[in-house]
Amino acid sequence: MSTLSEVAPAPILSIRDLSIELRNGGSKQLATKGVGLDLCQGEVLGLVGESGCGKTLTCKAIMGLLPEGVGRVQTGEILFSGHDLTRANEPTMRTFRGNTLSMIFQNPLNALNPVLTIGEQLSEVLATHTTLKRSEIYQEALHMLRRVGMPDAARRMRAYPHELSGGMRQRVVIAMALLMEPDVILADEPTTALDVTVQAQILKLLKSFQRNHNSAILLVTHDFGVIADMCDRVAVMYAGRIIETGTVEAIFDHPSHPYTAKLLEAMPRGRPVPRGELSVIPGRVPSNPDDLSGCKFAPRCERVQKACHRTEPRLKRVREGSTRIDPHLVSCFIAFEDRDEVTHVIE
Amino acid sequence: MNIPNTTFQDLRTRVTQKFRGSPVAIFSLMVIVVYAIAAVMVMLGLVANDFDARVGEKFMSPNATSWLGTDRLGRDILSRIVYANKIAFIVGLVTATLSVLLGTLLGALSGFFGGWVDAFIVWLYSTVESIPYLLLLIAISYILGAGLSGVYLAFVLTFWVGPCRIIRGEVLKLKEAEFVIAARAMGYGPMRILFRHIVPNTLHLALVNFTLIFVAAIKSEVILSYLGLGVQGEPSWGTMIDQARAELVNGFFWQIGGATVAMFLLVLAFNIATDTLQQALDPRQTR
């Protein structure tokens, strides 16, 4: 875990000031603004937030798969193995995709091709990125299918996706993503489509692979329970911005942004909750955040003040939960209001 | 987006179930099979060898040797009808195969690559489509001269439009599908994604279009042959109907009746089978 080492390791994937522009007919809006994330080797970084806050788009931007003619990186850079992925051309991107940089999709029902067998789909990854012989490819693929815990793997190589259950399909999707032992895995809500028992198995599988290969995972989720199990660090997104980031301990023990605090309150904590007692955040994510001046969460915030509507707060370091290597950052005025501590602006 | 299962086994199950539920569909299938067997037997030279031979007096009524009578040259009408069936089948098969291949290829490229490729192909099929198709067929046949090769070319040049339009639409839809995005995320190139991941998912549409074109080609062949632009030197249902025009005045109807009924049965059977196939494979599409 990165928190244990003394020196901050160089990030393997670094997102700087990423703004993604979405075009909808004639109107343009920024889906994310100034997103910055660092992902180090061997680290699991959780990316949390409500639906539509830009988590999936950020992943697609990393993969270079923003919907054509709709999404576009407006500013910022994504640094990965010596390239800026926002500027890399298609052939370069293709050498990364599925190879050193892979993505696990949300819905395993739709992420597999319905007319190709599991074996064909696994083999294709190896055929694309390696020079192995046919028989070696088959053995590799089968080996991987066994490793992700597919029962009766040899027979399943000949099965079509619709013949498998949701959990098994997600195992196949994960097997495909892990086949080339990628350095960075983007997992976009890998378990939301699955039921709870299967969820736990899939997460365990991801975690053990990540430990064995010292890969880095960017785990997109809206489930703080998953974050607690899996992640070293967390970044909370709201309306296309990172509003708080820090180690899992920092976020859970000292949530400093009212939104983070509310999200944590909204999480059932393993005990039965009487009807109506789960906390809800009233209102909804602004459809076009740039229409709001000031803090984008202000209209829904219980502790809102005048200043919140005037200027947009920037990410600043809070003392609680900060370690030497992993600062706990939050973009909120009131988080600092009761304290007289010295803070410095993080650019 | 929900993508229906289109594996080969799955298509087969859906088709079998649909046909099992409908006696009319089964009957139409049997009619097609009988015609197909007859066509194959003609090709192997087992039946209707004597289509050009004089077997009796001219304009004979049905009798023990000539079941449907004889024509103005004393040739056996039934033999000629059965032989013409072979022509119809070959024309249908060749036309449908080539048209569906061409249409699928152009439709897939058009839908997948967009831009000027799409603009050009859409322009091409809109242009072909805007010309009344019989006129186009006649024009092409005149240029190439009468005969089967002209017929094939004319048919393929007109019939590729249908599958092209439909496959283009399907590819447009499928290229945004999650499994295609997932394939791109695995680092596959565009040609691999198009022809290995997208096109096989349009197989059901290609099948339906195949049967539609098959029957359309048979009908068109009859029309062209009737106009004297089709088959030369061999009997076709079209040429038989053409020859029989004058005979009707003399009250001789066996030739025109036989050829018409033979064609009618096949076309009807094909239409019913195509409808059933379409319902089984592509419930969304109604024509």
Q: Do A115 and B6 touch (CB under 8 A)?
A: yes
Domain boundaries defined on chain B = 8-46+76-281
Q: Above 60 in pLDDT, residue B266? A: yes
- Ramachandran angles phi, psi of A245, nearest 5°: -150, 150
Q: What are the C-alpha distances in Å from B248 to residues A125, B234, B245, B256?
A: 69, 22, 6, 8
Kindly list the residues from chain B whose CB atom is less than 8 angstroms away from the CB atom of residue A95: 187
Which of B151-160, B213-222, B256-265, B275-284 has the weakest average pLDDT?
B275-284
Q: Do B197 and A113 touch (CB under 8 A)?
A: yes
Whose structure tokens read 């892979």?
Answer: A102
Of A110, A116, A125, the CB nearest to B178: A110
pLDDT per residue over B99-123, tens digit each? 999 999 999 999 999 999 999 999 9
Residues B47 and B40: their CA atoms lie apart, in Å, by 9
Q: Above 90 in pLDDT, residue A136? A: yes
Shortest CA gap A101–chain B (Å): 9
Shortest CA gap A90–chain B (Å): 9
Kindly list the residues from chain A whose CB atom is less than 8 angstroms away from the CB atom of residue B187: 93-99, 128-129
What is the sign of the dihedral through the CA atoms of A188, A194, A196 and A200? Answer: negative
Of B4, B8, B179, the CB nearest to A113: B179
pLDDT of residue B283: 54
Residues A250 and A234: their CA atoms lie apart, in Å, by 9
Q: Above 50 in pLDDT, residue A153? A: yes
The residue that leads in pLDDT, B6 or B209, is B209
**Of A99-113, A282-296, B87-101, highest mean pLDDT:** B87-101
Q: Find out if CATH 1.10.3720.10 is the number for domain B8-46+76-281.
A: yes
Kindly list the residues from chain A whose CB atom is less than 8 angstroms away from the CB atom of residue B8: 115
Mean pLDDT of all residues in A153-181: 91
Q: Under a CB-based contact definition with an 8 Å cutoff, are residues A176 and B179 in contact? A: no
Residues A246 and A79: their CA atoms lie apart, in Å, by 21
Of A98, A114, A116, the CB nearest to B3: A114
Kindly list the residues from chain A whose CB atom is less than 8 angstroms away from the CB atom of residue B7: 114-115, 160, 162
Q: How confident is the model at residue A347 (pLDDT cuts 50, 70, 90)?
A: very low
**Of A28-32, B57-61, B183-187, highest mean pLDDT:** B183-187
pLDDT per residue over A40-88, tens digit each? 999 999 999 888 788 889 999 999 999 888 899 999 999 998 899 999 9
Q: Above 70 in pLDDT, residue B15? A: yes
Q: Under a CB-based contact definition with an 8 Å cutoff, are residues A98 and A180 in contact? A: yes
pLDDT per residue over B30-61, tens digit each? 999 999 999 999 988 888 777 877 777 777 77
A207 touches B: beta carbon within 8 Å: no
Residue B204 one-letter amino acid = H
User: Chain B residue closest to A117 (CA)?
Assistant: B7
pLDDT of residue B209: 92
Kindly list the residues from chain B whose CB atom is less than 8 angstroms away from the CB atom of residue A67: 176
pLDDT of residue B253: 83
Kindly list the residues from chain A whose CB atom is less than 8 angstroms away from the CB atom of residue B185: 63, 65, 97-98, 102-103, 105
Cβ-Cβ contacts under 8 Å between A and B: the total is 78
Residues B245 and B243: their CA atoms lie apart, in Å, by 6
Residues facing residue A234 across a β-bridge: A46, A246
Residues in chain B: 287
Q: Above 50 in pLDDT, residue B1? A: no
Q: Above 90 in pLDDT, residue A319? A: no
Own/partner contacts of A154-158, CB < 8 Å, gap of 24 or more, are: A156/A118, A157/A117, A157/A118, A157/A119, A157/A122, A158/A117, A158/A118, A158/A119
Q: Above 60 in pLDDT, residue A223? A: yes
Quick one: which of A161, A162, A165, A144 has its CA closest to A153? A144
Per-residue b or e along B108-119, where b marks 16 or more CB atoms closer than 10 Å to that residue's CB: bbbbbeeeeebe
**Which residues 6+ apart lie within 8 Å of A219 measured at CB?**
A44, A45, A46, A47, A187, A190, A226, A227, A230, A231
pLDDT per residue over B213-262, tens digit each? 999 999 888 888 888 887 877 888 888 888 887 788 777 888 888 889 99
Shortest CA gap B56–chain A (Å): 58
Q: Above 90 in pLDDT, residue A27? A: no
Per-chain mean pLDDT for chain A: 87
Q: What are the C-alpha distances in Å from A74 to residues A34, A61, B131, B249?
A: 10, 11, 47, 81
Q: Do B187 and A162 touch (CB under 8 A)?
A: no
Q: Above 90 in pLDDT, residue A232? A: yes
- Are β-strands A316-318 and A233-238 bridged in parallel, bridged antiparallel, or unpaired? unpaired
The residue that leads in pLDDT, B60 or A116, is A116
Please state the pTM of the whole predicted model: 0.83
DSSP A14: E
Q: B 198-227 residues with CB below 8 A of A?
A: 200-201, 203
CA angle A124, A186, A267 (to 5 degrees): 135
User: Chain A residue closest to B2 (CA)?
Assistant: A110
Residues A175 and A164: their CA atoms lie apart, in Å, by 14
Q: Above 70 in pLDDT, residue B282? A: no
Which helix (H) or strand (E) segment holds residue B202: the answer is: none
Residues A171 and A164: their CA atoms lie apart, in Å, by 10
Q: How confident is the model at residue B76 (pLDDT cuts 50, 70, 90)?
A: confident
Q: Do B5 and A96 touch (CB under 8 A)?
A: no
